[in-house]
Amino acid sequence: NLHYHAVGKGQDASSLTLTIHHCIDHTLDTPILIVIDSINSIVNLSHGSYLSLLKEIGLWAMFSRRLSAGDVSFFITAETNKSGEVKGEALSFWSDVYLKMKWKSENVVDMNLAKTRRTAGAGPMGNHLRNWSTGRFEPEEQRSLYAVGSDIYE
């Protein structure tokens, strides 16, 4: 089940929890993935201190996942500051996986798995192309597998 919620002004961890609670079918025992795109936009629309609200929502997501033993998971996107780090910087410490994507050119991003708590192997992943037909980012070297002139990356 996919539930879409357009966030308006005045959101905080409590109001987001209430909204999510109403979207859940409590008769089912299925994991929940909550996508927040982007946490900075939610914080900007909220009332209060930017860094305080960023901390509140970030910690809410982290503790929700931990206390639910992973039954509630989060995918949070965040804009970066001038130094290329997440604004407020605490989100990168609270996350289980921290993937940095830097725009290189049209439909190409440089990916760097900056941190992972669960597996070894953090580090540069190289350039990836946005494949519009699958909704995935694919390693740039796979582009040669497709016919010249293919529009899947455009």
Per-residue pLDDT at 147: 45
Per-residue pLDDT at 10: 78
pTM of the model: 0.70
**Three-state secondary-structure class, residue 148:** coil
Strands 136-139 and 123-131: antiparallel
Angle at the Cα of 89 from the Cα atoms of 87 and 90, rounded to 5 degrees: 125
Per-residue pLDDT at 127: 93
Per-residue pLDDT at 146: 52
Q: Which two tokens stand for residue 100?
A: 């940095």
Distances (CA, A) of 88 to 20, 44, 78, 85, 140: 25, 13, 10, 8, 31
Q: What is the mean pLDDT of each run of 10 residues along the chain (154 residues)?
A: 75 82 81 85 84 87 88 84 76 80 87 74 86 86 58 54
Per-residue pLDDT at 145: 55
What gap in Å lies between CA 123 and CA 115, rounded to an integer?
8
